Homo-oligomer: A and B are copies of this chain.
Amino acid sequence: MTFTDAPAFIHPLRIYWEDTDAGGVVFYANYLKFFERARTEWLRSLGFQQERMRTEGGAMFVVADTRVRYLSPARLDDLIEVSVRVVESGRASLRLVQEARRGGQALAEGEIRIGCVDTGTFKPRRIPNDILDAIA
């Protein structure tokens, strides 16, 4: 299934000292963390908690592929918004487009592929049906 015009979920977050580096701006690798936080809150907004999924369901999402373009630097105290939009969903993996913005300005944009695995073996497994249903 492919989603072209799905509305994006938005997660706001603040930039703290821990997020910056000696260049005076946000350390680029941290955008992967920001994207992850937004995906976690998006799943929570759909009724899913990953800790329960991991400990009770024996399943967890793992990140398979990330592509990020860093467009403009963010700084300490900035309030930014991170979006989540599913662009493709299969039985064992999802492809998402995410963006970090501050007001009208794009800071970073990413394309993230996540898969579902068994927590013990790390072997791919079907994404739980209730999650697939909630996304569709």
Contacts and interface: CB of A to CB of B under 8 A. Distances in A.
Interface of A: 14, 16-18, 20-25, 27-30, 32-33, 36-37, 40-41, 44, 49-52, 54, 60, 62-70, 73, 75-78, 119, 122
State the main secondary structure of chain A at its contact with B. Answer: mixed
Given A52-B77, A67-B67, A69-B65, A21 B17 contact: yes
B63 A66 contact: no
Contacts of A44: 77
Most chain B Cβ neighbours within 10 Å, of A22, A69, A70: A22
A20 to B, nearest CB: 4
A79 to B, nearest CB: 10
B40 A36 contact: no
How many copies the complex holds: the figure is 4
Contacts of A24: 22, 24, 119
A16 B65 CA distance: 19
Contacts of A52: 77
A16 B51 CA distance: 10
A61 to B, nearest CB: 9
A64 B75 contact: no
7 contacts: A17-B22, A21-B22, A22-B24, A28-B62, A40-B77, A50-B77, A67-B67
